[in-house]
Homo-oligomer: A and B are copies of this chain.
Amino acid sequence: VLSLLIGALGDGRLIGMTAGTKAPTARERARAQITREIKDEARRQLVAGGAQQLSLRAVARELGMVSSALYRYFPSRDDLLTALIIDAYDSLGAATETAVAKVRGARAGWRACCHAVRGWALAHPQEYALIYGSPVPGYQAPQTTVAPAGRVPVVIGSLLSDVPPGPPQPLPGLVTSQSQVVAEVIAPGAAPWVVARAMIAWTQLFGMVSFELFGQLVGSADPADDFFGFAVEQMADLIGLPG
């Protein structure tokens, strides 16, 4: 995911890119509006039954349209799914960026990041499952999803400039070079062992949220609020965040 960000950053796909110098015509506004309504209704069905329950016919029915009309907006069911995936990554990314921007200091930023991710996931469980759950069989995510998927890693990377590198830590095998590649994209100048530890924390953060959301914690660390808070501090220590 991350290495592909390099290209995406370069050609401006990370920025909104709405473009269009002309003012939108009525038709264009209507089209944008209906596109939004289709996605909203599709999201509602996602909440009700998960990704594979998403049905173009049902969406059309709910909107009072005929099913074939949707093909004016999305060439196929998979394209609608892709749009939802991109929206989900962007929504999570924006929520995280906003939360982190509100606080000062790397450790506070890490806490804000973790709680933003968890909060968003609990508020949008099916959208979370769509992007971090088991892959939808037969669906291949296109390149367009790469940049939005990188927003949370970019936020985490931005916290690493405050981490004192400390003494060099030996890293096994490919980990050094992989960490360097990641560092170039999200945390230029950070020591590879710091980046490697941050990557572990990154997987752990989402592992935890997934475990809670997918019901694996029921009967042990449930409710998970305090357990999550505890883990966030452990991860901060692991990364070496000051504060």
Contact = CB atoms under 8 A, between A and B. Distances in A.
Interface of A: 1-5, 49-50, 52-53, 129, 132-138, 146, 153, 171-175, 178, 181-182, 196-197, 199-200, 203-208, 210-211, 214-223, 225-227, 229-231, 234, 238
7 contacts: A1-B218, A50-B136, A132-B216, A146-B219, A203-B204, A205-B207, A206-B216
Contacts of A203: 204, 207-208, 211, 216-217, 231
Given A203-B211, A204-B207, A49 B3 contact: no
Contacts of A197: 234
B50 A137 contact: yes
A181 B220 contact: yes
B218 A207 contact: no
Contacts of A182: 220-221
Contacts of A210: 207, 210
A134 B50 contact: yes
A227 B49 contact: no
A215 B149 CA distance: 12
A129 B210 CA distance: 12
Nearest to A209: B207
A175 B208 contact: no
A172 B234 contact: no
